[in-house]
Amino acid sequence: MPDSFEDQEWVKFGVAAALHKEYVSDQREFLQRLAQTLEAALPDETEVERRGLIKKVLVSVTVTLGENRYVFTDPGKGAIVATRTHIVRGIALKNEPVPVEVALAEMSQAVEQRMSESSKARDALANLLGL
């Protein structure tokens, strides 16, 4: 593994592009992997909702990074839905739907920043991306 975080090949590729590639291949599997990765890498910033008594089904993944909270929801049928909430001093000011690709791109920028500060987050994301 290279010494410098920025020298790692998967960082050069771009977290947003890698996340988008994973998302396009299988949305529901991607959501499962995203939930597992974020829970491991950023447990204090991540909330995962599962429903069901016998078989737990992933319903949503919420991650709060900086002034934004991103929620990825599986409606059961159709595409995954993303929303972004802008938060200032603990108060949600604006909640809006955004395309999943936009939410992933924005979230990945915040995650990249966090990864530069945390080897645990960096390793978990590398695992998600299979690198």
Please state the rounded mean pLDDT for residues 86-107.
89
Higher pLDDT, 55 or 22: 55
- Note the pLDDT tens digit of each residue in 27-74: 788 888 888 888 887 888 999 999 988 888 899 999 998 899 999 999
Give yes or no for residue 11 having a pLDDT over 50: no
- Note the pLDDT tens digit of each residue in 111-128: 777 777 767 666 766 665
**Residue among 116, 119, 111, 104 at smallest CA distance from 72:** 104
Q: Where are the domains of the chain?
A: 5-128
* b/e code 112-124 from CB counts within 10 Å (16+ = b): bebbeeeeebbeb
